[in-house]
Amino acid sequence: MGADAVLHDVPYLGDDWQTYLDGPQDFSLPSAMRSVMFYLGVPRERDYRFYLAVSGMGLQQLWQPETMRAAFDDPWAIDADPGRAVRRMFAAAGYAYETLGIPELCEQIGVPLAALTAQVDADGLRAAICASIDAGKPVILLGKMPCAVVAGYQADGETLVGWRYVFDPATEERDENGYLRIIEWPDLVYGAIIVGEPGELPPMRETWRDALVWAVRAARTPRVGEWVGGLEALNAWAAALTPEPDLDPANIEAFEKLFEAHDCTAMTLAEGRAYANDVLKRIAELEPDAADELLAAARCYGLIHDLMWRVWQTPEGSWPGNANRQRFADPQVRRELRRIVLTVRDLDTQAINHVARALPAMGVDAADIARPLQWEAEALARLAEEEAASGADPAARGAVHAGLTAEGVPRLAFGQGKDCTFIGALEAALAPTAHPYSYEQLMGWSGLAFRTRWFSNPERAETAWGDARWHPISPHGESAEEIAAIARATGWRLRAEDVPEAPRALGRERNATDAVLSLARALPAVVGLNTDMACVWGYRIHSVSFMVRDYQRPREDEVLVTGHDEALHSPFVFLDGYGQSLPERDALIEALRTAVAGGARPPDGPLQFGLAALDTWRANLGEYEALDQAERDRLQATNWWTLMHLLDARTAAAAFLEANADLLGEEARAALARAVEGYRAEVDLLGRFLQINRDLVPWWGGAGARGWDATTRATQADMLAQARDLEEEALGALQQALVAEGEAGRAPN
């Protein structure tokens, strides 16, 4: 042994993964193993993800309910045999090894002596480290760092050089090779792993099979020594978040212990499951007979990773350890976190069962596959029932990719015959599901195809839309009554949630989590955005951003809106499952009742409906000259916006009635034909007027109010009078159809 020795180009170990690594490597021992084995020339397909998987550290979580602790980055605790994780890694790399430890230090730290292959004192440890470097092999140092890779030594081993897992690159002392100097290292170290002689590199398929057999066994082992492990650890975690009775808010120490254990477990699952997703995809390429089950498990693990970010973000956090402690202390917030954790438990259960079903196709004897826990079968039956009732298209779910984005969601744009933004966004959301519906169907069943609504507030009273004299809210249709009508007609359970105004309100966080869960099933959602509705078809988990199809930006490939953006507004509508729809005839009858009732609907605050709305609209045009410029601009905007949507609605009404006429008897069909004729005439009337005056329609690229002169307004007033007559005739014909079917006299549901 010389005074100094160094091995050049030992790969980096540390937390600056953006610069040096291909992703985070927060489990220090598998990362150190990667560094050492890369240096020794072990094939690079056996990388950090590989060692994380074969060690078992990436798919095991441990929770201690009595002391409120979680085990993170602890290779000695994950198995009843404390040395098994290290043994598995070295066997997979094809190398012998020794785990040396200073017994008194190991006992102080809690490292079981059974994990060691030899016990040494400080001098013996130094000599072994230097001898390994002299033999051309880096050393894995075990201690409070938590791990380091020794690439050399100075002054006969008084100073070591290499890589520490955690260090400050701006202040740490470096040697001439760029390595860190690990000075006074005996104070930080309880042992080391010394690499032995190379042996035969085991086949990759055999190694993967062994790793997956272990993963299933670990998940189904409820206790590992003092720890609750596997799937049961997730139950213990959930129970700790909402204990009975609740934690005393004044007990800061208890909250801190719970928070640290909670945060560490989230870190374990986030990284472990993210890389399990990657590993299972690799294994699926080698095991085509098991690929479907392996890829299904991979999807579960990918979603668990994203839900761990929701665990950090829900208490106003941005990354691990960054949560607002005061918000975490709120029992309502912890209840939401518990909901996420229980969802993760279900996903982990599904994933492990997919892996267990894959193993026989990989040549594993059924006797070697750990038996399920007692509650697993019940949980899987419940989850299968939920999946069958979800309304999701399994093929579309399989196409969901990192993002997560649901394929097959069309773009949204005005002027394409789908101008009601709620119905257009809902049609887009339903497109990739097992039960899509057309714009015309949704407009008809909701009643929006037949509705006329005009906002008039002459008293300038304060309303939900401000105190303006007019407002272009008129054509929107996202209220509870339309949502309920569509749900009855289609069978879709449409769940509408409020979007609180406060950017970090718990309701917003809950909606964001639900969007993640929905999109994982390839079920998009609908949400208010600015003055319109938009379709949420994907997300970016780290920034809590939704990918939306937006009417205002139809040509942009990817529109991102953060879940905390104040432009988002109620309702947030989720596709919450598919059940029993009304018979087609009953759905049509209900739509006709809604149409007839809407024609005579009384005012609701500033909102006028039906024939009365057309009368008020005409009268308001006659007030134009007496208005100031701001009121003129508001009337002009409301006028053209509502006119454009009225044309769109009546076009859908005619198409809806024609498509469904055969559901009724002969007399009723004749009445519907008269209604269609009236609506077609109204469409022609409105369309010709808008085309002649298209330069006045801002949304069609026009100049706006310029040119909206007295003659044009008078012409429009006459046109609206004709439209009113056509509306009255069409509504009368719809009433006659109801009478002919014996369905008149009852209000819509």
The 3-class SS string of 389-418 reads: CCCCCHHHHHHCECCCECCCCCCCCCCCCC
DSSP 8-state symbol, 174: B
What's the Cα-to-Cα distance from 454 to each of 467, 605, 616, rounded to whole Å? 15, 11, 8
Cα 623 to its chain centre, rounded Å, is 50
Would residue 74 be called left, alpha or beta, if left means φ above 0 and alpha means ψ between -120 and 50 degrees? beta
**Number of Cβ atoms within 10 Å of the Cβ of 600:** 11
Strands 492-497 and 159-164: unpaired
* Residue 530 three-state SS: coil
How distant is the alpha carbon of residue 342 from its chain centre?
16
In the chain the domains, ranked by start, together with CATH numbers, are 5-42+94-202 (no CATH), 207-388 (no CATH), 416-433+491-580 (3.90.70), 436-477+485-490+582-749 (no CATH)
CA 534 to chain centre: 17
Using CA atoms, how far apart are residues 545 and 87, in angstroms rounded to an integer?
Answer: 42
- Compute the half-sphere exposure of residue 349: CA atoms within 13 Å on the CB side of its CA: 24
- Rounded mean pLDDT for each run of 10 residues along the chain, 749 residues in total: 89 91 95 98 97 97 94 94 98 98 94 97 97 98 91 95 82 85 88 97 97 98 96 97 84 90 96 97 98 96 96 92 89 97 98 98 97 96 95 81 76 92 96 97 97 94 91 78 96 97 96 96 95 94 94 92 96 97 97 96 94 97 94 92 94 98 97 98 96 81 70 96 98 97 78
Residue 206 CB neighbour total at 10 angstroms: 12
The continuous run of DSSP H or E covering 539 comes out as strand 532-540
CB-CB contact of 445 with 592 (8 Å):
no
Alpha carbon 730 to chain centroid distance?
45
> What's the CA gap between 166 and 327, in Å, rounded?
29
The CA-based angle 80-83-84, given to 5 degrees, is 70
The distance in angstroms from the start CA to the end CA of the chain is 90
Specify the pLDDT at position 427.
98
Q: Which residues contact 642 (CB under 8 A, 6 or more apart)?
A: 453, 454, 472, 474, 475, 617
- Is residue 50 within 8 Å of residue 58, measured between CB atoms? no
CA 250 to chain centre: 34
Helix (H) or strand (E) holding 282: helix 252-286
Indicate the pTM of the whole model: 0.94
In sequence order, the 6+-apart residues with CB closer than 8 A to the CB of 20 are: 12, 14
